[in-house]
Amino acid sequence: MAETDLLRSLPKTKRNVQKRAEGKDETVVAIAKQFGEMYWDGPRQYGYGGYRYDGRWRAVARDIIAHFGLKAGLRVLDVGCGKGFLVKDLMLECPGLEVFGLDISLYALMRCEKEVVGRLHLGSAEKMPFPDASFDCVLSLNTIHNFPRPRAIKAMQEIQRLSGGRAFVQVDSYHTPEQKEIFESWVLTAEFHDYPEGWQALFREAGYTGDYYWTIID
20 band by pLDDT with thresholds 50, 70 and 90:
low
| Average pLDDT value for residue range 118-124 | 98
The pLDDT value given to residue 15? 65
Task: Fill in the amino acid letter for 200.
Answer: Q
Q: What is the CA radius of gyration of the chain?
A: 16
Residue-wise pLDDT tens digits, 126-159: 999 999 999 999 999 999 999 999 999 999 999 9
The pLDDT value given to residue 98? 98
Going by the DSSP 8-state scheme, the letter that residue 138 receives in this structure is E
Say whether pLDDT at 22 is over 80.
Answer: no
Residue-wise pLDDT tens digits, 58-99: 999 999 999 999 999 999 999 999 999 999 999 999 999 999
Round to whole Å and give the CA distance between 129 and 174.
Answer: 32
24 band by pLDDT with thresholds 50, 70 and 90:
confident
Going by the DSSP 8-state scheme, the letter that residue 24 receives in this structure is -
The pLDDT value given to residue 147? 98
The pLDDT value given to residue 16? 64
What is the largest distance, in Å, between two alpha-carbon atoms of the chain? 48
Round to whole Å and give the CA distance between 146 and 144.
Answer: 5
| Predicted structure pTM score | 0.94
CATH code, 2-13+56-215: 3.40.50.150
The pLDDT value given to residue 120? 98
Say whether pLDDT at 17 is over 90.
Answer: no
Round to whole Å and give the CA distance between 12 and 7.
Answer: 10
